[in-house]
């Protein structure tokens, strides 16, 4: 059989192959390319592919993706008689830069009886789709902020690592890629290391577990690690992903320290303080000052509300404080009456504010005992009222201060004053001006008894019993405190 017949039959055999085949002569002439090879170059004819190796070089730009051989095209290596396989190159047409392909190549060098090359062939496989998918995966993998490493199962060596892992650990990429899973141990200190290693060796899923990675600077990093089997091309691999526990540990430490400071301040403050749940007002903690002032120990009050423990004397005051706290989130200096464990009533100022502890809502109540201060004030008022029968010597400023002290924080009565007669208004105005009954009688040209009768009617209408209370009531209801004429 002649060589021409052999070459013709060979072309018939390779014409219908799905793989691309390019036949090259030792003199670097491209003798033949099947339809698949032409399509893989975006060419319709052998002339468009290039009649020679030099022409091919001018028309197509190649870049090796692996097995780099600088300044040599695979087709040149075939002409040189080199045998190779699994060479991956990017191919781009010089006249159409937007047209590119990725080829996986191998060479076929057949020799004659004398050992001289008789058939030189370049076998091509289009892997463009595969590499596009891998590039998308690569971009996604690198852009993912979650730390991750990919380990090849055949030799347990790391083949990919993303920026998240490098930033978390401080490793460089070169220090990870190509190292074994035991050199850069991603399962170091794993809580269930034996299970993780067994799953890794069998290619099974590794469940989430805590681990402590060794860092290149000699430190360590607490993480949660998990492993998921994946395939990269035809290569079985394990994708390790990590969740950094360091921030959580720092947050937990800061929270614990904050809670310790709060607990210490709560215990040591000299003012009675109570911690209650915001929704039920159930007491969860009291300090020593509370027990000292109100007599209740933790065993008597924790787990109950202040109302259930019997501290509130007036239910109306309790409802007002709770409603204000719920509406505004805080209460400041509200005067209330609370009951000691012995049954004694204590005058108190209540301040409260909602707080969040461990994601739960609470209210912190501060209860200031002002019983002694109120007792002193009452004694002062009693002494003042003793001499208030004749108020002529009181100055306007003193009466104003008395009105303020007598009923602190009380707002003016709503609506109009009771239906007072003209004479009663005149008498109330003169009382507020500091005149006694005799002076009022002379001022109005009335007898002393008539003034007293009008005064008694006035007291009944405005609901008071003493002259000092009339002065305060008049002050609060807009009666002037100016000196009368004369």
Domain residue ranges of the chain, discontinuous segments joined by +: 8-127, 143-245, 267-409, 420-475
Distance of CA 447 to the CA centre of its chain: 81
Q: What is the three-class DSSP state of 392?
A: coil
Beta strands in 435-486 (DSSP E): none
Q: Is 143-245 assigned to CATH 3.30.70.2190?
A: no
Q: Which two tokens stand for residue 197?
A: 């290693």
Select the CATH number that applies to the domain covering 8-127 from these four: 3.40.190.10, 3.30.450.20, 3.40.109.10, 3.50.50.60.
3.30.450.20
d(CA 189, CA 205): 18
CB 338 within 8 A of CB 313: yes
d(CA 272, CA 251): 31
Select the CATH number that applies to the domain covering 267-409 from these four: 3.30.450.20, 1.20.1050.90, 3.40.50.410, 3.90.70.10.
3.30.450.20
* Fold equal for 8-127 and 267-409: yes
Spatial neighbors of 275 by CB under 8 A, at least 6 apart, are 266, 283, 284, 285, 286, 362, 363, 364, 365
What CATH number has the domain spanning 420-475? 1.10.10.10
Beta strands in 206-282 (DSSP E): 206-214, 220-232, 235-244, 273-277
CB 227 within 8 A of CB 196: yes
d(CA 120, CA 22): 8
User: Which of 303, 305, 281, 287 is CA-nearest to residue 361?
Assistant: 281
Alpha helices in 305-436 (DSSP H): 315-328, 371-386, 396-406, 422-432
Work out the burial of residue 315: count CB atoms within 10 Å of its CB; fewer than 13 is exposed, 13-18 middle, 19 or more buried: exposed
Question: How is residue 395 annotated by DSSP?
Answer: -
Q: What is the three-class DSSP state of 112?
A: coil
The values of phi and psi at residue 199, to 5°, are -65, -40
pLDDT in tens, the chain (486 residues): 344 445 666 666 676 678 999 999 888 999 999 999 999 999 999 999 999 999 999 999 998 876 555 578 999 999 888 888 888 899 999 898 888 899 999 999 888 788 787 789 999 999 888 888 777 887 878 778 889 999 999 999 999 999 999 999 999 999 999 999 989 999 988 989 999 999 999 999 999 999 999 999 998 888 999 999 998 877 899 999 998 887 777 766 766 777 777 777 787 788 899 999 999 999 999 989 899 999 888 888 899 999 998 999 999 999 999 999 989 888 888 999 999 989 999 999 999 999 888 778 999 999 988 888 877 766 766 666 665 555 555 555 555 555 555 554 444 444 445 678 888 888 888 888 888 888 888 888 888 888 888 888 888 888 888 888 888 888 777 776 444 444
């Amino acid at each position: 059989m002649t060589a021409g017949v052999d070459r013709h039959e060979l072309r018939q055999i390779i014409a219908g192959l799905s793989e691309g085949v390019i036949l090259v002569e030792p003199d670097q002439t491209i003798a033949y390319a099947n339809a698949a090879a032409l399509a893989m170059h975006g060419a319709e004819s052998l002339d468009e592919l290039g009649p020679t190796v030099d022409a091919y070089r001018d028309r197509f730009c190649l870049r090796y993706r692996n097995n780099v051989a600088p300044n040599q095209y695979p087709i040149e290596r075939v002409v040189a008689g080199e045998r190779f396989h699994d060479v991956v190159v990017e191919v781009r047409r010089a006249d159409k830069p937007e047209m590119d392909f990725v080829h996986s190549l191998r060479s076929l060098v057949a020799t004659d009886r004398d050992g001289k090359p008789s058939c030189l062939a370049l076998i091509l496989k289009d892997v463009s789709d595969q590499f596009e998918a891998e590039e998308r995966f690569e971009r996604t993998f690198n852009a993912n902020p979650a730390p991750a490493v990919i380990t090849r199962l055949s030799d347990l060596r790391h083949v990919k690592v993303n920026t998240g892992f490098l930033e978390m650990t401080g490793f460089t990429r070169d220090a990870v890629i190509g190292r074994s899973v035991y050199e850069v141990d991603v399962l170091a200190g794993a809580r269930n290391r034996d299970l993780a290693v067994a799953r890794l060796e069998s290619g099974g899923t590794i469940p989430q577990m805590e681990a402590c990675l060794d860092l290149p600077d000699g430190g360590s990093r607490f993480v949660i690690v998990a492993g998921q089997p994946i395939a990269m091309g035809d290569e079985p691999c394990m994708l390790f992903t990590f969740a950094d526990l360091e921030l959580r540990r720092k947050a937990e430490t800061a929270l614990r320290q904050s809670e310790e400071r709060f607990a210490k301040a709560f215990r040591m403050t000299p003012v009675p303080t109570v911690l209650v749940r915001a929704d039920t007002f159930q007491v969860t903690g009291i300090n020593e000052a509370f027990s000292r002032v109100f007599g209740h120990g933790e065993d008597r009050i924790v787990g109950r509300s202040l109302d259930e423990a019997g501290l509130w004397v007036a239910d109306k005051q309790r409802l007002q404080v709770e409603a204000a706290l719920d509406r505004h989130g805080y209460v400041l200096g509200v005067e209330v009456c609370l009951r000691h464990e012995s049954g004694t009533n204590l005058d108190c100022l209540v301040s409260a504010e909602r707080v969040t502890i461990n994601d739960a809502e609470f209210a912190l109540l501060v209860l200031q005992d002002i019983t002694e201060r109120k007792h002193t004030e009452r004694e002062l008022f009693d002494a003042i009222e003793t001499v208030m029968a004749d108020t002529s010597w009181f100055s306007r400023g003193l009466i104003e201060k008395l009105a303020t002290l007598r009923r602190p924080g009380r707002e003016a009565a709503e609506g109009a004053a009771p239906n007072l007669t003209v004479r009663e208004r005149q008498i109330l105005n003169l009382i507020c001006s500091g005149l006694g009954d005799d002076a009022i009688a002379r001022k109005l040209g009335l007898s002393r008894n008539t003034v007293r009768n009008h005064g008694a009617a006035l007291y009944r209408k405005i609901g008071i019993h003493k002259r000092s209370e009339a002065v305060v009531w008049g002050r609060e209801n807009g009666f002037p405190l100016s000196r009368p004429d004369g």
